[in-house]
């Protein structure tokens, strides 16, 4: 039998999602807690890996077990075993042909920054600080240029072999309040570090260090413009993974709208 978990975690203390020999990982942490409850050596398959220091509000991962689980009781017991920075916020039984990675239709990531000359200790784990001047309107306008189907070769980093660097961004939204600015990207897939590189491009534009037409040039030439850096991992959060309603009925986190979170 196959079960899906929706996981929320603060990635600050972890080497990333994937198991590591000499460092704590989110995968190992959750797998060990599941093993205590099932008595089996269960393997978690995630929608995708997150790097060290990256967070998740809705990471999806499935595992197989030979036991029929009471979902409510199992998730309660699992959360009792998990540390405070990793919790299962949703769970569902899914078909045997469901796969957390290959069944995913699209994902939403966010990148959070705050604009200040003074570091904020309380935000250091979830936000990246950018010093002013910073044009929020320019940041938002440039973000819209990433919507649609593009070759994102210039916006990814090496680290995983992919057949094509073409991806579709369905929406690029920017929300701001006070000195905080959050970029939300929803797409059918993302290259390694793609969101962090896009955020780096937008920050340079907003700070007046790069003309906005450099985005089109990077799309056309497939070469990253000089000075564009991959933003730090702490500002990145995997927000949602979208599947079909049929596969994930009942898996929405408490207090969330199931259709909004999981429908294509």
Distances (CA, A) of 26 to 15, 54, 82, 234: 8, 11, 10, 15
CATH 1.10.150.120 fits 2-103, yes or no: no
CATH 3.30.70.660 fits 106-238, yes or no: yes
One of 10, 51, 135, 213 is an active-site residue; which one? 51
User: Secondary structure of 80-129 in the HEC alphabet?
Assistant: HHCCCCEEEEEEEEECCCCCCCCCCCEEEEEEEEEECCCCCHHHCCCCEE
- At 263 the pLDDT is 27
pLDDT at 259 over 70: no
Domain spans of the chain, in order of start: 2-103, 106-238
Q: Token pair 């700070």 is at which residue? A: 207
pLDDT at 258 over 60: no
- The mean pLDDT of 244-249, rounded to a whole number, is 53
213 is catalytic: no
Instruction: Please write the tens of the pLDDT for every residue from 108-163.
Output: 999 999 999 999 999 999 999 999 999 999 999 999 999 999 999 999 986 556 88
Integer Cα distance of 29 and 138 in angstroms: 41
Instruction: Please write the tens of the pLDDT for every residue from 39-97.
Output: 999 999 999 999 999 999 999 999 999 999 999 999 999 999 999 999 999 999 999 99
Q: Where are the alpha helices (DSSP H) in the chain?
A: 26-38, 71-81, 136-143, 194-206, 214-221, 245-248, 258-262
Fold equal for 2-103 and 106-238: yes
- At 163 the pLDDT is 86
pTM: 0.92
pLDDT at 22 over 80: yes
**Cβ–Cβ < 8 Å for 51, 233:** yes
**With bands split at pLDDT 50, 70 and 90, how would you rate the model's confidence at 257?**
very low
- At 260 the pLDDT is 32
The mean predicted confidence, pLDDT, of the chain is 92
- The mean pLDDT of 195-200, rounded to a whole number, is 98
Pairing of strands 45-46, 86-94: unpaired
pLDDT at 169 over 90: yes
């Amino acid at each position: 039998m196959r079960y899906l978990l929706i996981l929320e975690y603060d990635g600050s203390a972890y080497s990333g999602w994937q198991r590591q020999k000499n460092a704590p990982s989110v995968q190992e942490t959750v797998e060990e807690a599941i093993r205590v409850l099932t008595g089996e050596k269960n393997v978690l398959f995630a929608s995708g890996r997150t790097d060290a220091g990256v967070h998740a509000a809705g990471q999806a991962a499935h595992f197989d077990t030979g036991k029929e689980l009471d979902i409510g009781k199992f998730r309660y017991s699992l959360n009792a075993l998990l540390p405070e920075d990793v919790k299962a916020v949703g769970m569902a039984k899914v078909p045997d042909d469901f796969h957390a990675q290959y069944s995913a239709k699209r994902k939403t990531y966010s990148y959070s920054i705050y604009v200040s000359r003074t570091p904020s200790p309380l935000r250091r784990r979830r936000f990246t600080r950018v010093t002013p001047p910073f044009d929020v309107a320019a940041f938002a306008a440039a973000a819209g240029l990433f919507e649609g189907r593009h070759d994102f070769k210039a916006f990814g980093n090496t680290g995983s072999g992919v057949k094509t660097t073409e991806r579709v961004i369905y929406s690029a939204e920017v929300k701001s309040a006070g000195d905080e600015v959050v970029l939300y990207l929803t797409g059918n897939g993302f290259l390694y570090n793609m969101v962090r590189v896009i955020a780096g491009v937008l920050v340079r534009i907003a700070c007046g260090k790069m003309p906005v037409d450099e985005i089109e040039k990077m799309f056309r030439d497939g070469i990253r413009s000089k000075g564009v850096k991959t933003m730090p991992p702490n500002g990145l959060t995997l927000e949602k993974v979208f599947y079909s309603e049929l596969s994930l009925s009942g898996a929405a986190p408490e207090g969330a709208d199931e259709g909004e979170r999981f429908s294509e």
